[in-house]
Copies of this chain bind each other. A is one copy, B any other.
Amino acid sequence: MRKSANLRAIRGRLLWFDDDPALAGEDAATRYFEDGCLVVEDGIVRAAGEASDVLKKIADDIPVDDWRPFLVMPGFIDPHLHFPQTQVIGSFAGELLEWLHTYTFVEEQKYADPAIAEAAARFFLDELLRNGTTTAGVYCSVHRQSVEAFFTESERRNMRMVAGKVMMDRDAPAALLDTPESGYRDSKALLQRWHGRGRQLYAITPRFAVTSSEAQLEAAGALAAEYPDCHIQTHLSENHREIATVAERFAWSKDYTGVYERYGLVRAKALFGHCIHLSQSERGRLGAAGATAVLCPTSNLFLGSGLFDLAALRAAEPPPRIALATDIGGGTSYSMLVTASEAHKVMALRDQPLPALAAFYMMTLGNARAMGLAQQIGSFAAGREADLVVLDTRATAAMGQRMERVRSLAEELFALMIMGDDRAVAATYVMGEPVYKKTG
């Protein structure tokens, strides 16, 4: 390997996945090197494996960041969260619609102000990096300027981000409404400006069928048809009141999924948040379209929305893609570790407990696949963008005490996800560059 000013080696307990441990088997899916090393050139993974093999292929003067005994994994991916909701996390309400109207729709109005949106974007991306999250699927507010602020900051940090302007033309305060025409026009302008610029990707983002008229969903579908490689993100079947409202307003549709289908919004790279109360027909239709169901466990518990049914989704013919996300600010933590812990808890109530390797797969390659980005991120296969997280499994006294007893990587990872939070993130790298290091 040639010497280069942009070459860097990162040594640690290297862990990533080539496949889904739940389907391919844990041994076949997992790549783990107790003394591993990753070589990054110009931000791209060039080699990853045993340190003794990898290091002898590079020049002696290449800098090595030695993180042993910490784990080094692909950066976490959070496919569903709301950038303008950082300041409504943990607002008390009975359920989703009450929570939206009492807190969220009040807060999101502030994002008409570019200065507020810019400050919030900095905080939000800092917080993602502190939690080891390097890629996210992000809902901005209805205002163009919130999307500008978000992408400007994300581009400055060279982070791989998927984001879009929320489209909503009813059932919210007037200051938060666009129209079918303005929603289409603003989304298209933002898409043309940001989609594919550096690592930025645009997501067409009708909030959900409750807050979009038929005309707006049709406009969103038209935009989606013009840009078949763009992501679509929306909400589906989170809450009984929401579902009843959709059934009433779209009485012509056989079910909730049918509304989005009618407007061409169910396809590959379409990310549907929640998907809790779907019928088996809906699950299969999501699967046939190549769409993704996004589990948001801290949110689903916090708002009492219900229990995601992974087994039923996996049993659909064909199964949809499955992702795992925080859903800040209905979700209660930016940490994908906390999110995985709550996913285990949601699924344990359904007698489908979530093993650690399956969970860490979801946070990395699983979410990359679910977002159609597995060629770019989510693993340490050669050619991938070198976003990564360094994890200290003994970050707190209680974790250190626990780790004295673990007998396997799987036990260690499970305790990490159950007990860990942002404190377990020792460092985060974007495109091979350290962008966050824990202090203290």
- Chain A residues within CB distance 8 Å of chain B: 86-95, 107, 123, 126-127, 130, 301-304, 306-307, 332-334, 341-342, 344-351, 353, 355-356, 396-398, 401-402, 404-405, 410-411, 414-415, 417-419, 421-422, 440
Copies in the complex: 2
Assess the A86–B301 pair: CB atoms within 8 A.
no
Task: Find A419's partner among B332, B414, B419 (CB 8 Å cutoff).
Answer: B332
A398 in contact with B344 given A304-B349, A418-B332 (CB within 8 Å): no
Task: Find A123's partner among B303, B344, B401, B415 (CB 8 Å cutoff).
Answer: B401
30 chain-A/chain-B pairs, Cβ below 8 angstroms: A86-B398, A87-B401, A87-B402, A87-B405, A88-B402, A88-B405, A89-B398, A89-B402, A89-B415, A89-B419, A90-B414, A90-B417, A90-B418, A90-B419, A91-B411, A92-B355, A92-B414, A94-B351, A94-B353, A95-B351, A130-B397, A301-B301, A301-B342, A302-B344, A304-B347, A304-B349, A332-B341, A334-B398, A396-B422, A421-B421
In the complex, what residue of chain B is closest to A416 when comparing beta carbons? B90
Considering the chains assembled together, what is the distance between the CA atoms of A378 and B333 in angstroms?
30
Give, as a whole number of angstroms, the nearest-CB distance from A124 to chain B. Answer: 9
Give, as a whole number of angstroms, the nearest-CB distance from A100 to chain B. Answer: 15
A304 in contact with B348 given A107-B405, A127-B397 (CB within 8 Å): yes
Considering the chains assembled together, what is the distance between the CA atoms of A217 and B432 in angstroms?
62
In the complex, what residue of chain B is closest to A348 when comparing beta carbons? B304
Assess the B411–A92 pair: CB atoms within 8 A.
yes
In the complex, what residue of chain B is closest to A86 when comparing beta carbons? B401
Considering the chains assembled together, what is the distance between the CA atoms of A93 and B95 in angstroms?
31
A353 CB contacts on chain B under 8 angstroms: 92-94, 304
Give, as a whole number of angstroms, the nearest-CB distance from A359 to chain B. Answer: 10
A89 CB contacts on chain B under 8 angstroms: 398, 402, 415, 418-419
Give, as a whole number of angstroms, the nearest-CB distance from A70 to chain B. Answer: 18
Assess the A345–B302 pair: CB atoms within 8 A.
yes
Give, as a whole number of angstroms, the nearest-CB distance from A255 to chain B. Answer: 23
A304 in contact with B401 given A341-B332, A411-B91 (CB within 8 Å): no
A415 CB contacts on chain B under 8 angstroms: 89-91
Highest count of chain B CB atoms <10 Å: which of A303, A396, A398, A402: A398
Considering the chains assembled together, what is the distance between the CA atoms of A328 and B220 in angstroms?
49
Assess the A86–B418 pair: CB atoms within 8 A.
no
A404 CB contacts on chain B under 8 angstroms: 87
